Amino acid sequence: MRRRRPQPHCSRRGRAPVADIVVRVRKPMIRCIMVDLPQADLTADGHLLNTIGRVNDTKLGLVVDVVEPGALRLGDTVRATLFT
């Protein structure tokens, strides 16, 4: 299977509004073997890291700094906007 290009949200840096919060994206988050280990109510899955690596170069998530704090609730809409 061909490797896909990293997803746009993983390669952009800038400010992004998240509900009432504004965050500054620093870098994509590179995942490790922890995603394959058992979690609270989930059993171990030995395929997740391989899939993340194949599809998105082991990047899943973002490292951010909170620029403007606020409330984030389940069901809130998250919108990514590139600020220059």
What pLDDT, in 10s, does the model give residues 6-21? Answer: 444 444 455 555 557 8
Evaluate whether residue 13 is within a structural domain: yes
- pLDDT by residue for the chain (84 residues), tens only, comes to 444 444 444 444 555 555 578 888 888 899 988 889 998 888 888 898 999 999 999 998 888 888 888 887 888 877 766 665
Domain coverage including residue 17: 8-68
Evaluate whether residue 83 is within a structural domain: no
Evaluate whether residue 1 is within a structural domain: no
**Domain count of the fold of the chain:** 1
Evaluate whether residue 28 is within a structural domain: yes
The per-residue DSSP string of 2-51 comes to PPPPPPHHHH--EEEEETTEEEEEEEEEEP-GGGGS-BTTB---TTHHHH
Evaluate whether residue 57 is within a structural domain: yes
